[in-house]
Structure 1
């Protein structure tokens, strides 16, 4: 009888232990068909078509190089080029943050002094694009959307110096009945980070960290986000625009935090609230919504800290459900922003070392690839001959007990026409360099920016 009781207690203990292990997530993995990580040649519709139809205004987000894009560049950027440009953007953001207190205004006529002024980080690779209408009658233009930039701009005729090639006809202000130049020395003109005057007309200039730039007239016109119409929206009317990474887009939609951004200019209409979902692969579509449309609960929200960018506070990382032994001060000493235009998440060096070490421990069954010393990603695998792979889950934690289990497309960065895939994180060079939560890790999450409440929220499996 005693032996039977002891045996039953032992069974209960082992059962409890197994449940505890599952609850702690100590054996969490993704079983992934390698084809699910690779873009297809045909565009897939939004995952939640009813949501896409019911929430207005909704802009469709697509990868500018994927089959869902209306742009058809002669040469697409390779994954290696994308990573190189991404590092330029990160370097530029780091420089801008460190030099923000020393940043000044420029004055004088349209000149090289305007072009050489730094403003708001790097244009980067411009992964994701949307379409809006500008002018009366409205002309459809394809713009990169970017939470790390403030000034919205498009190329304008007559392009007195240079215009890069773009898909749609270049916007002609003379054909719009509602176009007006912004006056020099006006409050809107002074709000532009880099400004100057040409007679009584306000000029703007933006140069990005990768060398791309736009310079021209600061103007206002009607902006159409079907079905909404926004009167007297201020934007840059580019007369001199150049850069190898601009591709065939018409310009940029700035969703940053300053007074000249789209978010601030439309605050009366959309209450400084917007949300987006970035698609899992380039042959899928996502969405960008404005206004209080989100149903994200408070438990999935983390505070936005004051600053020039969208600052959030990471507190931890996990691999296969196990929290990594990283001191929270590692993250707090560096700080972090969330950015739609940065591709790969950048972590403090100690945090990244812990992450890649734990990840590698669960990937020993696959062939690891030796990469060059200067390559951004250093935990890469050759999956030649592998149809289905098993990868450990990766979780990220933010203040307010927000814990996100990343989609498998947010863990691995794949290379086109090959079986090479790498862990989609990188370490900063210095412990105090700003961390950046990039767009790969944001894939498939509904990310809501609720500026009045000072919160950013996350909801998984949204697109």
Structure 2
């Protein structure tokens, strides 16, 4: 057991991370959804999620702003502006990482360069939001396990938590700070280890490996790279799990303890548990913030009879990200006249942390036009735009809406028919908006955001290089 760490370096480690027809589940053609407006809005109480399947590791996953969340703020304000503003920062950060990788910039920094000033940094203050998404799970870390509430992020590799003694800075969190000295299985990772070399950003202090991660809003975590027991559930423990023990943490919002990294890179939980779970994980994002979904690992209990698989595309230059081949969009049962090349130019990644799906400008314009046509009965109920959402309606006085059905087509003849909660974003009872946005240019990567993934069982099988969508997952 290693319970002491070398003095934390006085310099701040730089954190420059590289950046067909619409049918329902029964197979019948569907052109519209009749949806009760109240079902699009979160309730004040938490609904029960589906029972946990006994033969699969399944964690309860909730939206941080909803009543199911242990980290929900007591004073609920209009947080949608915050969510959408943070979403823009994350999207910009993802673009920067991908662009830097394409140019061969790598995006990391060597220990020798630690101490130089970053060229660009968005200021972050403790208590502000980190661009890591809106869904959280609670795990146990250490022996005996200490509960830690973490953001789930498929766009990050390194898992990290705030650790005592917090030599520089820690934000306020829901759980007690993880105390390495209190764990019988904690150990520091050495600078000479292969695990240290796998980090995009690393340093060394007294022979102990240092990690550094940064996010799109300027948030950061720096500390000792370590290992300890990770209890995904009380009965399912990952021994010697590699994670960051944060000593300088700035910008995380929502009282969470850190990040659970589910990306495709070597430091991620997915890669570390390849032998245990065979590189298979999945999740279901609930229909609203007042419902609970799940995060699951392993093949048992994840596969679903309704699952449709499409190819998972990866890029050696950006191994963290999961890409797929979006080929078309249908609205009201009619496929839009968008050439597949429009989507293929920059590609499309699937991301749990991005909220609103981003499309190439031409694709978004076509979708918006068709959606507005399908909503023509409400043309006198148009409402002002909200941030990046430019097609909004005021349903005040109505009990239900008739929404045009929207389906996304992927390679392999896979059509994903979005749930109503995945078509529109409910800001409040008087503002319902189309939950898509346009990229700035044709060369910007498309992103399948978490709103469009709601209610689906989304399954990642990394060795087989496929991503599956199962309707009615939660």
How many Å separate the matches in 2 of 1:196 and 1:389?
Answer: 55
SS in structure 2 at match of 1:429:
coil
SS of structure 1 residue aligned to 2:170 = coil
The question of 1:364 aligning with 2:371 is answered no
Q: What is aligned with 1:235?
A: 243
CA gap of 1:181–1:368, structure 2 versus 1, over 3 A, is same
Structure 1 position 306, deviation (Å): 2.0
313-322 or 103-112, which moves further after superposition?
Answer: 103-112
Tell me: CA distance 1:391–1:298, structure 2 relative to 1, closer, same or farther (3 Å): closer
Contact 1:278 1:287 in 2 (8 A): yes
* 1:80-95 pair list within 5 angstroms: 80-95=81-96
Give the match for residue 279 of structure 2: 272
User: Of the candidates 135, 148, 166, which is equivalent to residue 142 of structure 2?
Assistant: 135
How far apart are the structure 2 equivalents of 1:144 and 1:445? 19
1:393 aligns with 2:393: no
Indicate conservation of the 8 Å contact 1:38/1:414, yes or no. Answer: yes
TM-superposition CA deviations, 1:28-84 (whole Å, max 9, x none): 1111110000000110011x32xx233421100000110001113355561111001
Matches within 5 A, 1:166-181: 166-181=173-188
Q: 2:43 aligns with which of 40, 62, 85?
A: 40
Does the Cα contact within 8 Å between 1:299 and 1:401 map onto a contact in 2? no
1:366-393 C-alpha deviation (Å, 9 max, x unpaired): 2112327xx2010111111111111110
Q: Which consecutive unaligned segments of at least 5 residues does structure 1 have?
A: 1-22
Q: Aligned in 2, Cα 1:161/1:55: closer, same or farther, shift over 3 Å?
A: same
**Structure 1 pair 364–298 and aligned structure 2 pair: CA distance change class (3 A):** closer
Worse-matched range after superposition: 100-109 or 145-154: 100-109
2:111 corresponds to which residue? 107
Aligned residue for 2:39, secondary structure, equals: helix
Q: 1:194 to 1:74 in 2, by over 3 A?
A: farther
Please give the residue correspondences for 1:217-232 in structure 2 after superposition, counting only pairs within 5 Å.
217-226=224-233, 227-232=235-240
Distance 1:56 1:225 in 2: 11
Alignment of 1:443-462 (within 5 A): 443-462=454-473
Report deviation, 1:108: 4.7
Quick one: distance in 2 between partners of 1:462 and 1:115?
44
The number of equivalent residue pairs is 431
| Aligned counterparts, 1:179-218, within 5 A | 179-218=186-225
Moved over 3 A (4+): 74-77, 108-118, 296-299
Question: How far has the Cα of 1:355 moved from its partner?
Answer: 0.2
Residue in structure 1 matched with residue 427 of structure 2 by the alignment: 415
Among residues 344, 347, 360, which one is paired with 2:356 in the alignment?
Answer: 344
Q: C-alpha offsets along residues 369-425 of structure 1, whole Å, 9 cap, x if unaligned?
A: 2327xx201011111111111111000000000001100000010113x31010000
In structure 2, distance between residues paired with 1:210 and 1:288: 26
CA distance, structure 2, for counterparts of residue 233 and residue 404 of structure 1: 35
What stretches of structure 2 of length at least 5 have no aligned partner? 1-26, 123-128
- 1:231-250 Cα shifts (integer Å, max 9, x gaps): 1100000001011x532000
- Structure 1 75/32 Cα, relative in aligned 2: closer, same or farther at 3 Å? same
Distance 1:242 1:299 in 2: 40
Q: Deviations over 1:269-304 (max 9, x none)?
A: 001100110000000000111011232469710111
From 425, 429, 432, the equivalent of 2:440 is: 429
Q: Provide the residue aligned with 1:124 in structure 2.
A: 131
* Aligned-partner SS, 1:334: coil
- Secondary structure, in 3 states, of the residue corresponding to 1:361? helix
Distance 2:465 2:212 in 1: 30
Are the aligned partners of 2:154 and 2:261 in contact in 1 as well (CA < 8 Å)? yes
Q: Whose Rg is larger?
A: 1
C-alpha distance in 2 between matches for 1:434 and 1:267: 28
Distance in 1, matches of 2:86 and 2:446, equals 17
The aligned residue for residue 24 of structure 2 is: none
RMSD over aligned CA atoms reads 2.1
TM-score of the aligned structures, taking structure 1 as reference length? 0.89
Task: Please give the secondary structure, in 1, of the residue aligned with 2:372.
Answer: helix
Deviation at 1:116, TM superposition (A): 7.6
1:7 equivalent in structure 2: none
Q: Using structure 2 for the length normalisation, give the TM-score.
A: 0.87
Quick check: 1:319 aligned with 2:331?
A: yes
CA distance in 1, matches of 2:159, 2:115: 21
The whole-number CA distance in structure 2 between the counterparts of 1:24 and 1:74 is 44
Task: Point out the more displaced range, 104-113 or 233-242.
Answer: 104-113
